[in-house]
Amino acid sequence: MTRPPILYSFRRCPYAMRARMALWVARITVELREVKLADKPPELAEASPKATVPVLVLDDGTVIDESIAIMHWALECNDPKGWLAGDDAPSVPGLIARNDGPFKHHLDRYKYPTRYPDEAHGDEETFRLDHRNAGLAILTDLDSRLGSSAHLCGETPTLADIALFPFIRQFANTDRDWFDAQGLPHVQEWLERHLASDLFRAIMPKFAPWKAGDEPILFGP
């Protein structure tokens, strides 16, 4: 009997969240190794020199260390919800690239402005708000898109929705009162549906950071 894949993860990391959601929907059980980012286990760097989560190590030693690649691997094994169907839409690669590129760039500087003193040039608050507004502009465009369908590629969730959701959640939670006051009715409704989903609840339990010798934690539906 082959051993399950090993998934190095961090509960609150948006990249790890979307990987866990795809693995869960694909009904793939993994050995979950929760990582404490301030004290990463050496086994993580041995598996992937980048030492960033998520990292999936297959039974044959194959290492997949990009979240979108983990999602594709899982869904190509089993895609009961048809998430990959949305991946054929011409706009989907652009949606994910914009999220992982410009939106993530603005999100990081809005949420963690103290990490970028050389870019802020001594005016941290203006810097933070400029990046908040740039992120909001991207969400305003998504709001228009969601005005014509319940999800980004139609009436049911697809890979694009799951890939973007954890990052929009993080943006919203940076200042939830401000976010809720913005004119983003479709994005806000879409976000609430994902937050309330059984899938999101299923992939968010808390685990202690893993260390060598611990009993395996099997994670899956």
Confidence check: pLDDT of 88 > 80: no
Question: Confidence band (pLDDT; 50, 70, 90) for 85?
Answer: confident
Q: What is the pLDDT of residues 51-70, one digit of tens each?
A: 999 999 999 999 999 999 99
**What's the predicted TM-score (pTM) here?**
0.94
Cβ proximity of 138 and 102 under 8 Å: yes
To which residue do tokens 């509960």 refer? 11
Give the Å distances, CA to CA, from 165 to 21, 73, 139, 172.
11, 19, 11, 10
Tokens, residue 3: 């051993």
Region of residue 197 (left: phi > 0; alpha: psi -120 to 50; beta: else): beta
* Domains located in the chain, CATH noted: 6-82+201-219 (3.40.30.10), 84-197 (1.20.1050.10)
What are the tens digits of pLDDT across the range 38-49? 999 999 999 999
SS3 of residue 8 by DSSP: strand
Asked if the model's pLDDT at residue 109 lies above 70, the reply is: yes
What the block records as the tokens of 101 is: 């590129």
Report, as an integer, the average pLDDT of 78-97.
Answer: 83
Diameter of the chain by CA atoms? 59
Torsion of the alpha carbons at 98, 167, 105 and 125, rounded to the nearest 10: 140
Q: So what's the pLDDT on residue 42?
A: 96
The answer to whether 205 touches 211, Cβ cutoff 8 Å, is no
pLDDT over 70 (residue 9): yes
Residue 13: phi and psi, rounded to 5, are -75, 125
Predicted confidence (pLDDT) at residue 1 exceeds the cutoff of 60:
no
Query: In whole angstroms, what is the distance from residue 172 CA to residue 107 CA?
Result: 10
Indicate if the pLDDT at residue 218 is higher than 90: yes
**Residue 195: pLDDT band with limits 50, 70, 90:** very high
Q: Taking the CA atoms of the chain, what radius of gyration do you get in angstroms?
A: 18
**Mean pLDDT along residues 206-217:** 96
Q: pLDDT by residue (tens digit) across 115-169? A: 999 999 889 999 999 999 999 999 999 999 999 999 999 999 999 999 999 999 9
| Distance in angstroms (rounded) separating the CA atoms of residues 203 and 199 | 6
Instruction: Note the pLDDT of residue 29.
Output: 98
